[in-house]
Amino acid sequence: MIQRVQTIFLLLVAIAMLLVTYFPIWTQVNIDQTEMLKLTGWNLSKVYVDSGEVSELMPTFYIGILAIIAAVVAIYSLSQFKNRTKQMFLNMINSIIMVVNLGIIVYLTYSKNLDFNPTASGAFMIGFYCIIAAMVFNIVANRFIRKDELLIKSVDRIR
């Protein structure tokens, strides 16, 4: 299990998705430079720039929960190394979870940005890029799992 390359990539998927819950995902400052919107895995907060005081707090816990679910699915997929077809299926489910999470984030940032500061788009932070990195790691892990599966099928044909 540990000697396989896809193990490393699946572990990186889990780590990247857990980092989404820790790091900010998106920030935006209004036109007057007085307030800032900050999206994390757990909430969307409107903060006064000068004092740092939070004026509004909207829960977005579903982003964090989806990230944790994706990390758990990656760890479970990691443990299913003897059943490669199940592992590929779990990685496909994980890809869907990550795409849904990314879609929710893009929708939230777009809709909140229209009300807050329509002239600028805001800045995606490290949490957003962790999701994209996790998706790439998941695709690479699936590629190596498929390569193992094809190798085993070719060896079975030779026998």
Q: Is residue 67 part of a domain?
A: yes
- Tens of pLDDT, residues 51-102: 888 889 999 999 999 999 999 999 999 999 889 899 999 999 999 999 999 9
Q: Is residue 25 part of a domain?
A: yes
Give backbone dihedrals phi and psi of 59, rounded to 5 degrees, phi first: -70, 135
Q: Is residue 159 part of a domain?
A: no
- Tens of pLDDT, residues 90-140: 999 999 999 999 999 999 999 998 888 888 888 999 999 999 999 999 999
Q: Is residue 90 part of a domain?
A: yes
Q: Is residue 73 part of a domain?
A: yes
Pairing of strands 54-59, 43-48: antiparallel
Q: Is residue 158 part of a domain?
A: no
Q: Please give the pLDDT value at position 17.
A: 98
- Lowest-pLDDT range, 8-12, 13-17, 132-136, 154-158? 154-158
Report pTM. Answer: 0.91
Regarding predicted confidence, which is higher, 17 or 53? 17
Tell me how many domains the chain contains. Answer: 1
Judge whether 11 and 72 are in contact, CB under 8 Å: no
Look up the CATH number of the domain holding residue 65: 1.20.140.150
Average pLDDT over residues 5-19: 96
Regarding predicted confidence, which is higher, 79 or 2? 79
Judge whether 88 and 31 are in contact, CB under 8 Å: no
Q: Please give the pLDDT value at position 159.
A: 61
Retrieve residue 116's tokens. Answer: 């807050």
The pLDDT-based confidence of 153 (bands split at 50, 70, 90) is: confident
What residue numbers bound the domain in which 62 lies?
Answer: 5-153
Q: Is residue 84 part of a domain?
A: yes
- Whether the pLDDT of residue 1 is over 70: the answer is no
Pairwise CA distance, residues 42 & 40, whole Å:
5
Retrieve residue 17's tokens. Answer: 């998705």
